[in-house]
Amino acid sequence: MTNRLSAAAAGVLAAASGVAAAELFAAATRPGAAPLIAVGGAIIDATPTPIKEFAVRELGTNDKPALLTGIALALALFAAATGIAAQWRRPLLPAGVAVLGAAGAVAARSRPTATWFDAVPALLAALIAGAVLLWLLRQLSKAAVESGVAKGSGAAEESGAAEESGAARELRAAEERPSLVRSAEPGRPSLKVAEGGPSPRKAADRRAFLRAAALVAGAAIVVEAGARGVTRARAGAAGRNRAAVKLPPAAEPAEPLPGGVAPGFTTPAGTFYRVDTALTVPRIDPSSWRLKIHGMIGREATMSLDDLLGRSLIERDVTLNCVSNEVGGPYIGTARWLGVPLGPLLRELGLDPRADQIVARSTEGMTIGTPVTTALDGRDTMLVVGMNGAPLPLEHGFPVRMLTPGLYGYAGACKWLDEIELTRFDRFDAYWVKRGWARVGTVRTASRIDLPKPFARLNEGTVTVAGVAWAQRRGIDRVEVSVDGGPWQRADLLPVPSVDTWVQWRYRWRATKGPHSIKVRATDGTGSVQPEARATPFPSGATGRHTITVTVL
Amino acid sequence: MRATKLTAVAAATIFSISLAACGSSDDSTSSSAPSMMPTTAAPSMAPSTDAMMANFGAGCSAVPADASNKGSFQAMAQVPVATAASGNPLLSTLVSAVKKAGLVDSLNSADGITVFAPTDDAFKAIPKATLDKVLADKKTLTSILTYHVVPGKLTPADLAGDHKTLQGDDLMVSGSGQDFKVDGKASVICGNVQTANANVYIIDSVLMPKS
């Protein structure tokens, strides 16, 4: 082994021990702040969607492990370089370590839910890596110094000499020459190099370095094992287990989206809005997950995920929106959901006809109350296991959430579901109902202008005004646009798969110079026109017609 | 002053944690403002703490500290800017002007903007007859209001300098640190207030476009 290889190894080992310590610290305090995970998350955040989609397509569910492996390799390379650089010039040690620590800390802080605390593990990693590297390099220097003093003639290095590369030989030659660099090093006497090769004494010191290195490696492995143990104990192996869930094909697959649907019809899971009260995303081990169905039902049941996946599954495109969305707001999305229809399951178990409320409970205590009728009236109320062709993402309720077409999320789409109780509205108020929100959250007919953007500056001529309108279960019959309070003009509606999704609309506007306001309204399948009067989202959803201001130049 | 604010921040944060705790146990009836907050846009706890740490200025003390109050920094950070302003007791004249001009949705659904928000006192400095005339003239009103809005979220670090407003003219911010003036006359009395889609700088005088 050469000095340069040893220094590189020292760098890698130091980084490994630093990261291991940080993983342990993070596992015990804030799992999301573990440096590799945080860097991975930051990279995912910064990666443009098409590339992410490419990665997911090409690597499937291995995209995350591939990313983490890539990060670990990059870290190892940088650490090796730091080791070599630091051996050459000691001040490069803190510099290299600081770069790594800062990169980790910045990545951790950039995460959407980050606090200052998230930077701690990365800084801890840097501190420990720095200290370990310094110690290892000192062991290495000792070996080098001793070898310099005790060099005899002709003795072959006992091991590793044969594999020594040309570059390494060059380096060693350079190192064995007395040099300004070396003599300038504080705490390291300038080398009085005698002629000749290494001695048994040097080999002994090499062994001391190797022992130190082995000690560090062992410690890093033990600490890392500890970190993994803590993580498993704390969180289960949810992420890995999600990847392992194999979704069976739907007995009733969704039809392909109709031709003529514009891009953006389906919302990727990654950009699908998330409104919930969970401060940390529940990580549920699907193998131990159980759904308990009880209350006013003939036969109580406890079902595993496999029990659910063994039933006949349906797949549907459904738009889901949040009651707290302001007029024109972003908390709405459309996904292709795979799930178990709830109605047949409840009928099988013998539904008590007096029950009028389904109370869904999540693992973190959320309760959501939904009318029993919505499970029985033919709509696709379901226990969702898949979203857009993949197991439900952790943030969207893995392993199972509920979905009730036509109801706002707070009233029909409990995430991280683990209990369904059949009861009555006069016996139990769910979480948001206790806080004053409407008992039954039926979605209101609404529409939104997505293009042009508010305050846009446009060129004179034809401008495409476009957006979405929705009234799940009732469907959209008509969308109209009014410019500057003028007459309502009908917009073109693009095709839809069913009444349960939003409708994309488009209107060609001949824009004239000056400031303009553009307003939209929708009419649903029952003939009701979206109300003009403004209502706040509380307690039963916002009303009002989305109006934006633009300037035509 | 800063110590007081830090205390308020700490109190508000602890309060929000206790609210969250109620949420999980699901056995209490809360009478506080019901809130259903987006987790991605504004996770209920951590980032709003950051936001609160970040705002500055003597005028901030007039903002309610109770996190359950619609006008608190905590609550404003969760909702889009026009909705946030409507919960703030300092900004009621501005809010009614924005409504009159029909700019509520545009402000709420804009993708990242900076709003210089004159207080009620700032509007009071304008003679009543003039103000009434402006409020009745939608075109002038829109021009004045959009002159108070700059595209992009300006942090205190990018605040100083010339910025093109949505009205079209540039406005000029001078100063540094926590001491800024807009167009040489309006002082920022409470800066870097976070809302879901805008950074807000509350100012003590109404700005006027040059054109």
Secondary structure in 3-state letters for A99-121: HHHHHHHHHHHCCCCCCHHHHHH
Please say if the pLDDT value at position B106 is more than 90.
yes
Please say if the pLDDT value at position A34 is more than 60.
yes
Could you tell me the pLDDT band of residue A370, with boundaries at 50, 70 and 90?
very high
Distance from CA of A268 to the nearest CA of B (A): 14
Cα A357 to Cα A94, A294, B1, B27: the distances in Å are: 63, 12, 52, 18
Please say if the pLDDT value at position A500 is more than 50.
yes
d(CA A386, CA A404): 15
For B144, other C-beta atoms within 10 Å of its C-beta total 20
Element (H, E) at B100: helix B92-100
Could you tell me which residues are beta bridge partners of residue A506? A466, A492
Lowest-confidence pick of A338-347, A383-392, B41-50: B41-50
**Are the C-beta atoms of residues A11 and A86 closer than 8 Å to each other?**
yes
Lowest-confidence pick of A68-77, A328-337, A341-350, B89-98: A68-77
Of B111, B149, B168, the CB nearest to A453: B111
Q: What percentage of residues in chain B have a pLDDT greater than 90?
A: 58
Q: What's the mean pLDDT in A112-139?
A: 82
A176 phi/psi in degrees, rounded to 5: -80, -10
Say which residues have a Cβ less than 8 Å from residue A306's Cβ, sequence separation at least 6.
none
Conformational region of residue A201, where left means phi above 0, alpha means psi within -120 to 50, and beta covers everything else: alpha
Of A277, A328, A515, the CB nearest to B105: A328
**Are the C-beta atoms of residues A325 and A537 closer than 8 Å to each other?**
yes
Q: What percentage of residues in chain B have a pLDDT greater than 70?
A: 74
d(CA A248, CA A323): 32
Nearest-5° Cα angle at A52, A50 to A57: 95
Could you tell me the pLDDT band of residue B32, with boundaries at 50, 70 and 90?
very low
Q: What percentage of residues in chain A have a pLDDT greater than 90?
A: 52
Higher pLDDT, A273 or A226: A273
Say which residues have a Cβ less than 8 Å from residue B120's Cβ, sequence separation at least 6.
B90, B91, B92, B93, B94
Cα A392 to Cα A45, A119, A275, A285, A339: the distances in Å are: 19, 29, 16, 13, 10
Distance from CA of B204 to the nearest CA of A (A): 25
d(CA A341, CA A255): 17
3 state SS of A482: strand
* pLDDT score, position B92: 95
Could you tell me which residues are beta bridge partners of residue A492? A506
Chain B residues in contact with A112 (beta carbon < 8 A): 40, 43, 47
d(CA A359, CA A420): 6
Higher pLDDT, B10 or A211: A211
Could you tell me the pLDDT band of residue B97, with boundaries at 50, 70 and 90?
very high
Higher pLDDT, A416 or B73: A416
Element (H, E) at B188: strand B186-194
Lowest-confidence pick of A192-196, A294-298, A384-388: A192-196
Chain B residues in contact with A435 (beta carbon < 8 A): 29-30, 34
Q: What's the mean pLDDT in A459-484?
A: 98
**Are the C-beta atoms of residues A293 and A300 closer than 8 Å to each other?**
yes
Higher pLDDT, A242 or A521: A521
* pLDDT score, position A144: 65
Conformational region of residue B30, where left means phi above 0, alpha means psi within -120 to 50, and beta covers everything else: beta
Which of B109, B149, B163, B167 to mutate to test binding with chain A, by most A CBs within 10 Å of its CB?
B109
Residue type, A357: Q
Please say if the pLDDT value at position B20 is more than 50.
no
Of B26, B29, B110, the CB nearest to A454: B110
Could you tell me the pLDDT band of residue B13, with boundaries at 50, 70 and 90?
very low
Tally the residues of chain B: 211
Tell me whether B43 touches chain A (CB under 8 Å).
Answer: yes
- How do residues A45-99 score in pLDDT, each as one tens digit? 566 545 544 554 445 435 556 777 888 888 888 888 888 888 888 888 888 888 8
Q: What's the mean pLDDT in A167-187?
A: 43
Please say if the pLDDT value at position A408 is more than 50.
yes
Q: What's the mean pLDDT in B79-100?
A: 94
Please say if the pLDDT value at position A386 is more than 70.
yes
- Cis ω before A94 (30° cut-off from 0): no
Which of A395, A455, A534, A536 to mutate to test binding with chain B, by most B CBs within 10 Å of its CB?
A455
d(CA A190, CA A182): 6
Model confidence, pTM: 0.65
Please say if the pLDDT value at position A185 is more than 80.
no
Each as own residue / partner, the long-range contacts of residues A221-229 (CB below 8 Å, 24 or more positions apart, any chain) are A221/A20, A223/A17, A223/A20, A223/A21, A223/A23, A223/A24, A224/A16, A224/A19, A224/A20, A224/A23, A224/A24, A226/A24, A227/A20, A227/A23, A227/A24, A227/A26, A227/A27, A227/A34, A228/A23, A228/A27
Q: What's the mean pLDDT in A505-530?
A: 97
Could you tell me the pLDDT band of residue A201, with boundaries at 50, 70 and 90?
low
Distance from CA of B145 to the nearest CA of A (A): 12
Spatial strand order in the sheet of A367-371: A301-304, A290-295, A417-423, A357-362, A367-371
For A351, other C-beta atoms within 10 Å of its C-beta total 20
Tally the residues of chain A: 553
Of B40, B103, B146, the CB nearest to A273: B40
d(CA A75, CA A34): 14
Which of A235, A249, A257 lies closest to A398 in space, CA to CA? A235
Lowest-confidence pick of A306-310, A539-543, B17-21: B17-21
DSSP per-residue codes, A55-75 = HHHHHGGGHHHHHHHHHHHHH
Q: What's the mean pLDDT in A341-364?
A: 96
Could you tell me the pLDDT band of residue A164, with boundaries at 50, 70 and 90?
very low
Residue type, A544: G
Say which residues have a Cβ less than 8 Å from residue B145's Cβ, sequence separation at least 6.
B97, B98, B101, B103
Please say if the pLDDT value at position B33 is more than 70.
no
* pLDDT score, position A238: 61
Strands (E), A350-389: 357-362, 367-371, 382-387
Q: What's the mean pLDDT in A349-359?
A: 97
Which of B36, B70, B143 to mutate to test binding with chain A, by most A CBs within 10 Å of its CB?
B36
Give B 10-29 residues with CB within 8 A of chain A: 20, 23-26, 28-29
Could you tell me the pLDDT band of residue A200, with boundaries at 50, 70 and 90?
low
Find the residue in A nearest to B33 (Cα): A435
Lowest-confidence pick of A85-99, B74-88, B99-113: A85-99
* pLDDT score, position A63: 52
Could you tell me the pLDDT band of residue A147, with boundaries at 50, 70 and 90?
low
Lowest-confidence pick of A391-405, A484-498, B58-72: B58-72
**Are the C-beta atoms of residues B97 and B133 closer than 8 Å to each other?**
no
- How do residues B42-60 score in pLDDT, each as one tens digit? 333 223 334 344 688 888 8
Could you tell me the pLDDT band of residue B34, with boundaries at 50, 70 and 90?
very low
> Could A112 and B47 be called an inter-chain contact, meaning their C-beta atoms sit closer than 8 Å?
yes
Nearest-5° Cα angle at A394, B33 to A387: 105
Higher pLDDT, A119 or A505: A505
d(CA A543, CA A471): 13
Higher pLDDT, A150 or A138: A138
Q: What percentage of residues in chain A have a pLDDT greater than 70?
A: 80
